[in-house]
Every structure is written in C-alpha cells, then in structure tokens.
Amino acid sequence: MGLLVQKFGGTSVADADRMRAVADHIARTRRQGSDVVVVVSAMGKTTDELIRLASDVSRSQPGRELDMLLSAGERVSMALLCMALSDLGIPAASFTGSQAGILTDAVHTKAKIVEIRPVRIKDAVASGKVAVVAGFQGMSTEREVTTLGRGGSDTTAVALAAALGADACEIYTDVSGVFSADPRIVPDARRISRISFEEMLEIAATGGRVLALRSVEFARRHNVPLHVRSSFTWERGTWIVEEEPGMEQAMVTAITHDTSEAKITVAGVPDQPGIAARLFRALADHAINVDMIVQNTSSNGMTDISFTVPKDDLETSLTISSSLAPEIGAREVSADEGIGRISLIGAGMKTSPGVTAAMFEVLSKESINIEMISTSPIRISCVVRDEAVERSVQILHEAFELS
Amino acid sequence: MGLLVQKFGGTSVADADRMRAVADHIARTRRQGSDVVVVVSAMGKTTDELIRLASDVSRSQPGRELDMLLSAGERVSMALLCMALSDLGIPAASFTGSQAGILTDAVHTKAKIVEIRPVRIKDAVASGKVAVVAGFQGMSTEREVTTLGRGGSDTTAVALAAALGADACEIYTDVSGVFSADPRIVPDARRISRISFEEMLEIAATGGRVLALRSVEFARRHNVPLHVRSSFTWERGTWIVEEEPGMEQAMVTAITHDTSEAKITVAGVPDQPGIAARLFRALADHAINVDMIVQNTSSNGMTDISFTVPKDDLETSLTISSSLAPEIGAREVSADEGIGRISLIGAGMKTSPGVTAAMFEVLSKESINIEMISTSPIRISCVVRDEAVERSVQILHEAFELS
C-alpha cells in the first residue's frame, strides 16, 4: 500500500525495550505491504543532557558547534534502531540529515529546510531497505551541520514525506492523538479522529503541544496527510488532512489553553498613526514574538495598547517598551504575568456566528472576566485570569458538548 | 614555529574541567606562535558506553550501523572543545572525519585510511582557526561513515600530520611518555627522551601500550616526528623520530612484557615440507594473529610446533588445530595459558652480539626457565612462566642498568 513515513519521538525510543518495540512495529508495517521511511529523534532526554554538557564546558557556545554537538543524539538512536531492525531480519540503513539530502539555510540552531534531495533514501527504499533518517538536522548551503530547532524532527518527517510523495506521515508520540481539550484538565476529553490542517494550525498556535506549528504548516502547504498516534498503544489516533467538501464541520472542535504568556500594557499614548508601528517594530527587531494585540477605543485623543508576549521575553519586552515610552508619549508601562488564554477552535465557526456570544455567556455565568479578545475565522481566544483557566476550559468543554 | 598536530585521548577530555584544561594548552601553543590542528577522541568511557548500548538493543549489530553509532562520540567531544576554545577567544571549528577528508576503505569497524584530502582543514588553518578533527573516523569510498578500530585516533592524528606536512604530531595521553619498563612493575623505570621509530615499533608490538602499532608504522613511513606526553602534567615526554647517524644507540632501550597470549603446541608432526604452511594458512584464514612460532629440531622425522596467539583467539585456534591434526598427522594438540613474554628492545643490539647471552644469563641466575625465543635485529623476546614475568622484567631492568 505504498510508502509511509513514520516518525518516532524521544520518548518512543527512550531505552532498549522501547527501541525494540518500535522495530517490531516497523516490521509489522512492512508485513502489511508498505515501504517505510523512518525519522527518529534522539533518545529520551539526550538532547537536554548534551545542552547541559555544553553549559558545563562553555559560556559562549557558538551555534555551529552547538549544532555539531546536538546532531550526535540522533546518530545514536538511528543506528540503534537499524540494529534492532536487523535482529528482526529487516534490512535497514541509517542516514544523517546531510546523507538524507536535507538542505537548510545557514542559521545555526534554528535552520529552515530549503530543499530536500533524498537520492540515497530513494535508493535505499528501492533496494528493499527501511531508511532510518535523523530528525532535527540537516546540512546548510555552506556544507555545515545544522539543527532545525523546536519541532525539528516533526518537520523533517513531514518534509521528507512531501519530497518522497509518501501516502502519509505518521507521527508517533506519547499521547494517542489530538484531544478536544487537555485530558489532564478535562478527563472526558474526546480524541478527535479527523481534523483539518487549518484547525490543527490554530490548535498548535494556541497551546496544543502535540505537534509543532511549523510541521503542520509544512504539511498543509504540501498536502501531506498526518496521522498522530501513540507508540505505546499503537491504536488509531488523529488524522490531520485537507478539508474536504463533505467533511463534518464541527462548530467547535477543540479547546486549548496557554499560560506561558504575560501581558504588557502601554497606557496613555496619543492616538496617532505610527505610534503602534514604532512600538512593535522595536519588539520585532529583538525577535520578540508578540501574540495578541488589543488597542482600546480612544478617549480624549489618548489610548491604551495591550499585548501578550512569552513570559521568557517579558523582561526584554518591558525594557524596550519603557525606553520607548518618552518617545511615543506614553504615560505608563505595566506588566501582568497572571493571565492565561483559552481558545475555541472549529472550522464550522465560519458559518455559525453565534459561537462568540455563546462563549462569552458561558464564562460570564461563572463570573469569569474576559480581559482581551482576538478572533480568526475559525478561532476565538480570550485572555482571563490564570487561576480561571482550568475552570474555563472545563465549563466550555461541557457547554459545547465536546465529550 | 609552523604547524603542530595535537591529539588528545579520551582521558584527556573526560569531563568539563579536563576539556577546559586542554583548551588552555592549545591557547598556550598558539601564543607560542604555532598553528594547531587538534585530533580528539570521544570523552572518557563514551565509546564503551555506546558499545554497551548496542548490546542492550541488538544481537546482530551490523558494522555500518555500529560505525554510525560510535562516530557520535567524537562529535560530542570535538564540539565541546571548540566551545571551550571560543570562551578563550580562540576561533575554532570542528570537523568530522568526512569533513576533514579522511577517506578510508569500506571495512566497517576497522577501516584503513586510503587517502587524506584535508581541504577544509587547510582553509580553516589559513583563516586563523584551530581545526578540531574527530579522531577514529572517516568516510569510505562508498560515502559511508567508518571507524578505524583500535588505535584509530592516534592514526588519524599521524595521518593528518603527514598530509598537512606538520612539523610534529603531539600525542597527549595519561602517561608522561615511553618508559624503559612498565613503571607499575619497575618503579624506577626511566622515561625515554628520544627513541627511533624502529624501536618504538618493537615496543608497541611486544606489549607497550602507549601507542598503537599502526600509528607508529604510519609515522615511520611518512617520517612524522611524534611527541608522546602527558595532558595532566604537560611536561616534555618522549620524542619518536627517525634514527639519525649521531643518535646514541643504547644496547637496550626498553623492556616490555605481555601476558595476553597463550601457547599452543602441535606435537609429533612429520617433519615434511608443507605441514606448517597448512596449519598457519588455516589460522590466517580465520584472521588469527599468530605471534611467535618455534619448531623443534626434528627427531626420528617427527617434530613439535609451538606458537602463541591472543588468549581471546585461543579457543578458535585450538578447534582449528585439532581438526587439522589427523590431516597433518599430528599426535597431540595442547594449550598453555600460563605463559608470558618479556622482550628487550634496543637499536644498539644490531652491533652488540652479547645481549642475547647476557639476557639468558640473568634469567638463568634466578632459575627462570625460557620456553620459547624469538629475535629481530633490535629485539629479543623470551616466553617464560607468567608468574615469572614481573621478576624477569625487574632483574633485567637492573642488570642492563636502565634506571
């Protein structure tokens, strides 16, 4: 039944037993008639340990050398996986990012894939082998080893699947799919069996941790069907596919939450063209990822601008905003770390204008105050107090009957 | 003062502190005016740990994947060393065996270097950088990752030094040089300050563990001056150089010993041409490294053949010899693991015929029986009981005044 790309994360290959279980599954997939290309992450906490080692040795840690260091992790896991496959009589060969033809730009530690030339992978598959490819790494246009940063291994898998014209890309992880809400907060959250790329993008962007945003975006752009599933239970998980005309469009598919951001308010700025531009240009120049932005209605020619940033960037963002305050005529800059964001996602929202109102009513009934709002055609996000996040997710999950 | 290749073994870079100490030393060498190319092994026991991991996962362990696995070790150490150099303001770049242009044959886990094309290394040095190269690894003519087997990192260093026309190759290790005998047995053994390639070859071949035979052989063939020294004390160690006309030729330079071999005796074979050839061809076909061979004088047309093999190969060797016994008409095949070999090495022996006699007299005076003898122009080796080895080394060291 064609070609499958199977990606196994760090927890899936954390030790010798898990490694052999993964090899068994690959063997099973082959017996069912598929060719298989595998993408594998470093074992368990290997990457974290290598980063710690680097901190022990050095303060400067040049990116080129950090990439050389981190790329060692996948070498170990992919070689071991090939050995486990060999024990099962499955011919296999491992390939580094460079050998697999994964060409990236030259930005060390967060390189972007620019092209894939999977000549050796195709040869290996054609000769009846399972090709096992190192996730997370590539070779730059300057022939240097690079790593792809967060979500890198998923991106390797999706990009390879696209380049090879695979029938699907299976992402094996330690959860059994994408859920209607975080099961730690909503125990009767439902596993979603089928979801569109667009909805999954919104989920990934608003706190869903199953797939990195960039890999979903890549899959959407190249129309690679993704199947997120568990390497512990091997059961059918969640398919992420192109939206089809006949596809059921749930009004609300999932509820996500995120407490990793903080809010900055720049108060009392003149309501004039160019003020906001100056502020957000300065933040962008420092590579700060501003998420939600809300500007109040002007009163007496003055307004307040609030925006959220990752808590890790709060200090830098505050420094930048405060130093700009005199120039843009702001009265005050303040920060608030006690916020959380909850988001409703559903492709059916496009045609159901009542969702926003229903969401506000549910929250209001529980006296949960909404501090910021932002929407897309298929998403509504509200910022609330962080202590109200769990309760908000629970009551919304119930109100929209997602169980 | 030109270009130095400095090689650091696993104990020299075993942890973060050692790594920084090595970086300090490289910085010092640069301040003294030398360009430096560094060859580095995997940290401490890393390679052993990776081998153990492979055993945990797999029984089959294909050579290609074992090489991919083991090559991860040097990636880690070389990247960390470059980071430590960066902290000291020394620009550095790490290179894998493949990036360094170390081309090998395709024999996995014990590849031989066939050519070195150090284009990127030369570029790095020309641009003022310290090039840090992964020892022990290369890329095969089939573009696969290979490892060089035992003594591989020393060989990488010597081969690179030859290819780059370096002024010398410094081998940093956990001992401070080559000694006139093992200091654990002879506490007043003397560190040899200068020794010829030929003598060092004999030392490496007869139990000296400081340098692998193949790296010395490579250095001799390409006339690369070697300097073996300690990365713990940084003091001047032992220079291994081409024999010069004016060089002092000590009658005896060093005494080595080796208890890693066993003796096999094939007794009562017809003293006819071809018998020995058949025996040793069969052993060679099983890649068994036969060392000393002694054949007794014939009596009644029959003779005994004794030879030594590594203890690890004893069982296989016995099986082969026993199964050949009927065919070659041998009466009996026996094994003896209780042997040891002591060797006297000295370039001056060539012109001093009395050394052999003196050695036998010294051993005889202590009632130490000699079971086998073999000689080269600059070496005499005797097999004795293993319990007599230490005492033999001590009394010979004293008798030849090597302290």
Q: Which residues of A touch B (CB under 8 A)?
A: 16, 19-20, 50, 53-54, 56-62, 64-66, 68-69, 71-73, 75-76, 78-80, 82-84, 86-87, 92-94, 96, 99, 143, 145
Question: Which of A16, A20, A58 has the CB atom closest to B87's CB atom?
Answer: A58
* Cβ-defined contact of A57 to B93 (cutoff 8 Å): no
Does B373 or A1 have the greater pLDDT score?
Answer: B373
Cα torsion angle, B386, B372, B370, B351, sign:
negative
Q: Provide the pLDDT confidence category of residue A126 given band limits of 50, 70 and 90.
A: very high
The 3-state secondary structure of B27-84 reads HHHHHCCCEEEEEECCCCCHHHHHHHHHHHHCCCCCHHHHHHHHCHHHHHHHHHHHHH
In this predicted structure, what is the pLDDT of residue B403? 87
From the candidates A12, A17, A50, A65, which should be mutated to test the interface with B, based on the most B CB atoms within 10 A? A65
* Cβ-defined contact of A93 to B66 (cutoff 8 Å): no
Size of interface A-B (CB pairs under 8 A): 120
pLDDT at B337 exceeding the cut of 70: yes
pLDDT at A178 exceeding the cut of 80: yes
Report helix, strand or coil for B216: helix
The nearest CA of chain A is from the CA of B226 a distance in Å of: 29
Q: Could you tell me the two tokens for B203?
A: 């030392």
In this predicted structure, what is the pLDDT of residue A246? 66
In this predicted structure, what is the pLDDT of residue B248? 63
State phi, psi for A111 to the nearest 5 degrees. Answer: -70, 155
In this predicted structure, what is the pLDDT of residue B368? 94
Mean pLDDT for the stretch of residues A219-248 = 91
Give the angle subtended at the CA of B122 by the CAs of B120 and B126, to the nearest 5°: 115
* Cβ-defined contact of B61 to A86 (cutoff 8 Å): yes
DSSP B296: P
Q: Provide the pLDDT confidence category of residue A295 given band limits of 50, 70 and 90.
A: confident
Q: Are strands B293-295 and B261-270 parallel, antiparallel or unpaired?
A: unpaired
From the candidates A68, A127, A143, A145, which should be mutated to test the interface with B, based on the most B CB atoms within 10 A? A68
Q: Provide the pLDDT confidence category of residue B246 given band limits of 50, 70 and 90.
A: low
Question: Which of A19, A76, A83 has the CB atom closest to B61's CB atom?
Answer: A83
From the candidates A24, A50, A58, which should be mutated to test the interface with B, based on the most B CB atoms within 10 A? A58
The nearest CA of chain B is from the CA of A87 a distance in Å of: 6
The nearest CA of chain A is from the CA of B93 a distance in Å of: 7
The nearest CA of chain A is from the CA of B56 a distance in Å of: 6
The nearest CA of chain B is from the CA of A56 a distance in Å of: 6
From the candidates B38, B55, B58, B87, which should be mutated to test the interface with A, based on the most A CB atoms within 10 A? B58
Mean pLDDT for the stretch of residues B124-150 = 96
Average pLDDT score, chain A: 93
Tokens 């026993």, residue located: B322
Question: Which of A65, A82, A143 has the CB atom closest to B62's CB atom?
Answer: A82
State the Cα–Cα distance between residues B237 and A159, nearest whole angstrom: 54
Q: Among A95-99, A370-374, B98-102, B387-391, whose mean pLDDT is lowest?
A: A370-374
State phi, psi for A363 to the nearest 5 degrees. Answer: -70, -40
Cα torsion angle, B210, B215, B219, B224, sign:
negative
State phi, psi for B382 to the nearest 5 degrees. Answer: -125, 135
By the 8 A CB rule, do A169 and A226 touch?
yes
Q: Which residues of B touch A (CB under 8 A)?
A: 16, 19-20, 50, 53-54, 56-62, 64-66, 68-69, 71-73, 75-76, 78-80, 82-84, 86-87, 92-94, 96, 99, 143, 145
* Cβ-defined contact of B76 to A69 (cutoff 8 Å): yes
Please name the helix (run of DSSP H) or strand (run of DSSP E) that holds residue B257, with its range, or none. Answer: strand B254-258
State the Cα–Cα distance between residues A152 and A155, nearest whole angstrom: 5
Show residues of chain B in contact with A65, CB under 8 Å: 79-80, 82-83, 86, 92-94
Question: Which of A66, A68, A83 has the CB atom closest to B54's CB atom?
Answer: A83
* N-to-C CA span, chain B: 34
Percent pLDDT > 90 in chain B is 81
Show residues of chain B in contact with A19, CB under 8 Å: 57
Q: Provide the pLDDT confidence category of residue A248 given band limits of 50, 70 and 90.
A: low
Q: Among A117-121, A199-203, A298-302, B310-314, whose mean pLDDT is lowest?
A: A298-302
Does B88 or A212 have the greater pLDDT score?
Answer: B88
In this predicted structure, what is the pLDDT of residue B4? 98
- Identify residue A325 by its one-letter amino acid code: A
* Cβ-defined contact of A79 to B93 (cutoff 8 Å): no
In this predicted structure, what is the pLDDT of residue B1? 59
Beta-carbon contacts of residue B169 (< 8 Å; ≥ 6 apart): B4, B5, B6, B7, B157, B158, B160, B161, B219, B224, B225, B226, B227
pLDDT at A352 exceeding the cut of 90: no
Show residues of chain A in contact with B58, CB under 8 Å: 80, 83-84, 86-87
pLDDT tens digits, residue range B264-322? 999 999 888 888 888 999 998 988 888 888 887 777 888 899 999 999 999 999 999 99
Question: Which of A19, A60, A82 has the CB atom closest to B65's CB atom?
Answer: A82
pLDDT at B335 exceeding the cut of 70: yes
Question: Which of A62, A68, A94 has the CB atom closest to B86's CB atom?
Answer: A62
State the Cα–Cα distance between residues A317 and A308, nearest whole angstrom: 10
C-alpha distances in Å from residue B228, one per residue of A65, B11, B32, B177, B194: 28, 14, 19, 5, 10
Show residues of chain B in contact with A13, CB under 8 Å: none
Please report how the helices B355-365 and B389-399 are oriented relative to each other, as an axis angle in degrees rounded to 10. Answer: 130
Report helix, strand or coil for B239: strand
By the 8 A CB rule, do B290 and B309 touch?
yes
pLDDT tens digits, residue range A370-386? 999 888 889 999 999 99
In this predicted structure, what is the pLDDT of residue B244? 77
Show residues of chain B in contact with A78, CB under 8 Å: 68
pLDDT tens digits, residue range A256-286? 999 999 999 999 998 888 888 889 999 989 8
* Cβ-defined contact of A83 to B76 (cutoff 8 Å): no
Show residues of chain B in contact with A82, CB under 8 Å: 62, 64-65, 68
State phi, psi for B137 to the nearest 5 degrees. Answer: -135, 155
* Cβ-defined contact of A72 to B76 (cutoff 8 Å): yes
Which domains can be identified in chain A, with CATH numbers? 3-174 (3.40.1160.10), 262-336 (3.30.70.260), 339-399 (3.30.2130.10)
C-alpha closest to that of A198 among A386, A379, A383: A379
Average pLDDT score, chain B: 93
In this predicted structure, what is the pLDDT of residue A247? 64
State the Cα–Cα distance between residues B200 and B217, nearest whole angstrom: 9
From the candidates B49, B65, B140, which should be mutated to test the interface with A, based on the most A CB atoms within 10 A? B65
Cα Rg for chain B, rounded, in angstroms?
23
Show residues of chain A in contact with B52, CB under 8 Å: none
State the Cα–Cα distance between residues A183 and B216, nearest whole angstrom: 64
pLDDT tens digits, residue range B63-118? 999 999 999 999 999 999 999 999 999 999 999 999 999 999 999 999 999 999 99
Q: Among A57-61, B247-251, B311-315, whose mean pLDDT is lowest?
A: B247-251
The nearest CA of chain B is from the CA of A49 a distance in Å of: 11
In this predicted structure, what is the pLDDT of residue B353? 74
Beta-carbon contacts of residue A65 (< 8 Å; ≥ 6 apart): B79, B80, B82, B83, B86, B92, B93, B94
By the 8 A CB rule, do A227 and A168 touch?
yes
pLDDT tens digits, residue range B171-211? 999 999 999 999 999 999 999 999 999 999 999 999 888 99
* Cβ-defined contact of A54 to B82 (cutoff 8 Å): no
* Cβ-defined contact of A93 to B64 (cutoff 8 Å): yes
Q: Provide the pLDDT confidence category of residue A324 given band limits of 50, 70 and 90.
A: very high
State the Cα–Cα distance between residues B102 and B283, nearest whole angstrom: 32
In this predicted structure, what is the pLDDT of residue A243? 85
Mean pLDDT for the stretch of residues A190-202 = 94
* Cβ-defined contact of A58 to B80 (cutoff 8 Å): yes
State the Cα–Cα distance between residues B290 and B266, nearest whole angstrom: 14
Report helix, strand or coil for B21: helix
pLDDT tens digits, residue range B354-383? 888 899 999 999 999 999 988 888 999 999
In this predicted structure, what is the pLDDT of residue B301? 84
Question: Which of B58, B75, B83 has the CB atom closest to A84's CB atom?
Answer: B58
pLDDT at A393 exceeding the cut of 90: yes
* Cβ-defined contact of A94 to B16 (cutoff 8 Å): no
State the Cα–Cα distance between residues B316 and B311, nearest whole angstrom: 10
C-alpha distances in Å from residue A162, one per residue of A95, A120, A128, A200, A306: 18, 16, 20, 18, 40
Mean pLDDT for the stretch of residues A113-133 = 97
Show residues of chain B in contact with A20, CB under 8 Å: 57
* Cβ-defined contact of A57 to B86 (cutoff 8 Å): no
Q: Among A152-161, A247-256, A338-347, B223-232, whose mean pLDDT is lowest?
A: A247-256
pTM for the predicted model, two decimal places: 0.88
C-alpha distances in Å from residue A308, one per residue of A50, A291, B386: 32, 5, 77
